[in-house]
């Protein structure tokens, strides 16, 4: 039996009952941020240290132990990938700081402490009917760099499955935590107008965002440059932000139709989320962060589909990302599960293939043997949805999950028991004589291998998967984080010393290479030569030309008509509307969930 639990628990929503925008900056703090100008320091970029404190000591221990494990894992993630310029002193509570964050009182004992960290996150745990799994937002910023230094996070345990044995649930909780912390790092509407170029300390030439037909578009330079190449749309001017889901979900997240399962879209779908360069480039565009050695997840959604995709999505019925006939079943767009064509909260009028929760191929707990049909299936991180089925008896199914592998030349092979079938071309698989059924190799089989992001064993409850690599929790290494390791971790190995051309991060015992998109370097935070397409600016590689002098050397990058055609492009105004539609919106959300 197939069941669909569309996993659209919004990441960040409003308090419906009170109609309050609990996630916004307090007014005084916001006004001050608007007035401040960044003053950049000469300090080196160093890994981001996140420190967590629970707001109360009264939470159920079963929850805190699980959430602590999640938060410790994601702290390693952020230390591993993000760099900041550290402040001169430890984080201490100043008189001027608010005493309440998003309605939460901070205990005196927490305010009395000094925190040797770059970001302190106060964590609340609640069990409520409110329609969100978690939310997080910055509350205090450093007045020199404007970077958030204190944030608040709240977990709604009612929508957070605490299951210490299910890899998929564990991974989805890690994804939620990373998503929320990225908001806490300053990816929120309140901050958009304050992003600046960390090299010069100045604003970017064009506004950071603009509004068109009430929809927010982010237009920071690295993000736009990446998007132009990704979509093959050279005159793209802004990245559309979510326009559905209500305040707190809309505007704060990438548009679902544009980026689909990117981590920073507004809700969690069944299937995995991808941390792509859209998120990493945006983090660099804030001016607060740099990226160390990384390999972002690779997405196929809309890739190279041109400006028409970006502008029209499903409207002309000509993109396979979307589906056009309601309730038709098929394999999902990325072939990670069996799915049904429908709308959801964030899809607007478009429809796409939504994966049945129990037919998500990558979840090995979905593996059940149907005795009567004997249809052969395989669920696991290396499983793919194919059209057709195979069985030793006369029984058939339209779609099944099967094991696959990619050889070194990225040729796709399907594995059924001891048999291996070549799927380097699309078309039917030659089924052995003693089996019944039919199986089809996917169209564009090379894409399955090129855009594969899965990790062995989904990192086995001990790590986080990004672009085929597990980032393991402390004390573990190996390709799927199952080896105990008290040394340094590097590409699945456990080592006493970091290899040549890598640099140790002692706190998390990782060896890493050059900063993001860098070819050669003298340290993890000091690039000397960039990959082609990137430009060296103060030790890091940017995909853009911010400086006029560089523009003249590379005329193809000049685009005089770069301004969005909107009259309110400079508007950094935050409109807090309290109209009654919000209440209606929440009711709709609830109806969709149940």
- The contact set with ligand NAG (CB under 6 A) reads 1, 39, 60-62, 127-129, 144, 157-158, 213-214, 232, 304, 306, 308, 316, 318, 370, 372-373, 395, 500, 575, 577
Give the residue with the Cβ less far from ligand NAG, 158 or 526: 158
Please state the separation of Cα 499 from the chain's center in Å: 30
CB of 308 to ligand NAG, least distance (A): 5
CB of 99 to ligand NAG, least distance (A): 26
Token pair 């300053």 in the structure block, residue:
186
Please state the separation of Cα 175 from the chain's center in Å: 7
Give the residue with the Cβ less far from ligand NAG, 129 or 552: 129
CB of 130 to ligand NAG, least distance (A): 8
Which token pair is 210? Answer: 């603009």
CB of 306 to ligand NAG, least distance (A): 6
Which token pair is 398? Answer: 């339209």
Say if residue 396 is exposed, middle or buried (CB neighbours under 10 Å; 0-12, 13-18, 19+): middle
Give the residue with the Cβ less far from ligand NAG, 113 or 316: 316
DSSP line for 283-329: HHHTSS-EE-S-------TTTT-HHHHHHHTTTTS--TTSB-STT-E
CB of 40 to ligand NAG, least distance (A): 8
Give the containing element (helix H, strand E) for 148: strand 148-156
CB of 201 to ligand NAG, least distance (A): 9
Q: State how far the Cα of 311 lies from the Cα of 175, in Å rounded to an integer.
A: 28
Give the residue with the Cβ less far from ligand NAG, 61 or 418: 61
Say if residue 547 is exposed, middle or buried (CB neighbours under 10 Å; 0-12, 13-18, 19+): middle
Rg (CA), the chain: 24
Q: Is 253 annotated as a binding residue?
A: yes
CB of 465 to ligand NAG, least distance (A): 26
- Residue 19, phi-psi category: left (phi > 0), alpha (psi -120 to 50), beta (remainder): left
CB of 337 to ligand NAG, least distance (A): 15
What is each CA distance from 491 to 348, 423, 505, in whole angstroms? 41, 29, 14
Q: Which long-range contacts (C-beta less than 8 Å, at least 24 apart) are formed by 319-328?
A: 321/260, 321/352, 322/257, 322/350, 322/351, 322/352, 323/351, 323/352, 323/353, 324/351, 326/351
Q: State how far the Cα of 11 lies from the Cα of 151, in Å rounded to an integer.
A: 16
CB of 77 to ligand NAG, least distance (A): 25
Give the residue with the Cβ less far from ligand NAG, 307 or 536: 307
Give the residue with the Cβ less far from ligand NAG, 476 or 488: 488
Give the residue with the Cβ less far from ligand NAG, 128 or 520: 128
Give the residue with the Cβ less far from ligand NAG, 71 or 291: 71
Give the residue with the Cβ less far from ligand NAG, 7 or 476: 7
Q: In what order do the strands lie in the sheet with 419-422?
A: 419-422, 412-416, 399-406, 383-391, 436-441, 427-429
Give the residue with the Cβ less far from ligand NAG, 299 or 457: 299
Give the residue with the Cβ less far from ligand NAG, 409 or 579: 579
CB of 108 to ligand NAG, least distance (A): 26
Q: State how far the Cα of 511 lies from the Cα of 570, in Å rounded to an integer.
A: 43
∠ CA 152-158-160, rounded to 5°: 70
3-state secondary structure 171-207: HHHHHHHHHHHHHHCCCCHHHHCCCCCCCCCCCCCCC
Q: State how far the Cα of 390 lies from the Cα of 407, in Å rounded to an integer.
A: 23
Task: Select from 470, 515, 459 the least CA-distant residue to 492.
Answer: 470
Give the residue with the Cβ less far from ligand NAG, 293 or 358: 358
Q: Are 211 and 283 in contact (CB under 8 A)?
A: no
Backbone angles phi and psi of 35, in degrees to 5? -80, -25
CB of 29 to ligand NAG, least distance (A): 20
Token pair 């106060």 in the structure block, residue:
122
Give the residue with the Cβ less far from ligand NAG, 114 or 316: 316
CB of 229 to ligand NAG, least distance (A): 9
∠ CA 221-226-228, rounded to 5°: 95
Q: Are 402 and 412 in contact (CB under 8 A)?
A: no
Q: List, in sequence order, the alpha helices (H) in 453-580.
A: 548-553
CB of 370 to ligand NAG, least distance (A): 4
Q: Are 274 and 333 in contact (CB under 8 A)?
A: no
- Known binding site for Zn(2+): residues? 253
- Known binding site: residues? 253
């Amino acid at each position: 039996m197939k069941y669909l639990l569309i996993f659209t628990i919004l990441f960040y929503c409003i308090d419906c009952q009170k109609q309050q925008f609990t996630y916004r900056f307090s007014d005084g703090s916001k006004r001050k941020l608007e007035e401040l100008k960044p003053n950049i320091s000469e300090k080196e970029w160093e890994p981001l240290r996140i420190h967590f404190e629970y707001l109360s000591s009264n939470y159920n221990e079963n929850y805190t132990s699980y959430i602590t494990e999640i938060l410790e894992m994601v702290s390693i993630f952020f230390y591993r990938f993000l760099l900041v310029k550290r402040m001169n002193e430890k984080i201490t509570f100043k008189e001027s700081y608010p005493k309440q964050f998003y309605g939460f009182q901070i205990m005196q004992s927490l305010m009395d402490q000094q925190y040797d960290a770059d970001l302190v996150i106060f964590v609340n745990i609640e069990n409520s009917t409110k329609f969100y799994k978690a939310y997080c937002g910055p509350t205090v910023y450093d007045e020199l760099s404007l970077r958030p230094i204190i944030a608040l996070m709240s977990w709604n345990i009612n929508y957070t499955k605490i299951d210490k044995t299910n890899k998929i649930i564990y991974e989805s909780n890690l994804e939620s935590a990373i998503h929320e912390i990225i908001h806490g790092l300053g990816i929120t509407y309140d901050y958009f107008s304050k992003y600046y170029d960390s090299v010069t300390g100045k604003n970017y030439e064009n506004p950071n965002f603009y509004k068109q037909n009430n929809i927010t578009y982010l237009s920071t330079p690295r993000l736009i440059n990446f998007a132009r190449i990704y979509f093959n749309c050279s005159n793209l001017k802004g990245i559309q932000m979510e326009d559905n889901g209500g305040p707190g979900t809309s505007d704060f997240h990438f548009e679902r139709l544009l980026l689909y399962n990117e981590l920073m879209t507004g809700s969690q779908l069944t299937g995995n989320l991808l941390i792509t360069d859209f998120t990493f480039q945006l983090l660099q565009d804030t001016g607060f962060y740099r990226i160390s050695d990384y390999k972002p997840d690779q997405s196929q959604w809309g890739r190279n589909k041109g400006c028409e995709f970006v502008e029209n999505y499903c409207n002309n019925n000509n993109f396979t990302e979307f589906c056009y006939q309601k309730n038709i079943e098929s394999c999902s767009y990325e072939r990670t599960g069996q799915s049904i064509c429908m709308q959801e909260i964030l899809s607007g009028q478009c429809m796409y293939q939504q994966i049945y929760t129990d037919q998500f191929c990558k979840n090995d707990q979905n593996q059940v043997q149907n005795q009567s049909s004997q249809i052969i299936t395989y669920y696991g991180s290396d499983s793919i949805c194919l059209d057709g089925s195979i069985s030793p008896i006369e029984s058939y199914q339209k779609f099944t999950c099967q094991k696959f592998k990619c050889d070194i030349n990225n040729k796709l092979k399907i594995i059924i028991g001891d048999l291996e079938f070549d799927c380097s071309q699309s078309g039917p698989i030659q089924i052995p004589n003693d089996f019944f059924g039919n199986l089809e190799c996917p169209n564009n089989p090379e894409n399955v291998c090129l855009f594969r992001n899965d990790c062995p064993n989904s990192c086995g409850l001990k790590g986080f998967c990004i672009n085929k690599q597990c980032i393991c929790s402390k004390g573990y290494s190996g390709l799927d984080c199952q080896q105990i390791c008290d040394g340094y971790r590097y590409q699945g190995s456990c080592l006493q010393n970091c290899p040549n051309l890598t640099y140790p991060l002692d706190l998390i015992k990782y060896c890493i290479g050059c900063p993001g998109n860098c070819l050669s370097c003298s340290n993890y935070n000091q690039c000397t030569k960039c990959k082609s397409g990137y430009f060296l600016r103060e030790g890091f590689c940017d995909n853009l030309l911010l400086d006029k002098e560089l523009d003249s050397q590379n005329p193809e990058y000049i685009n005089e008509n770069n301004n969005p055609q909107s009259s309110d492009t400079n508007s950094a105004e935050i409109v807090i509307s309290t109209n009654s539609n919000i209440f209606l919106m929440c009711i709709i959300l609830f109806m969709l969930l149940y």
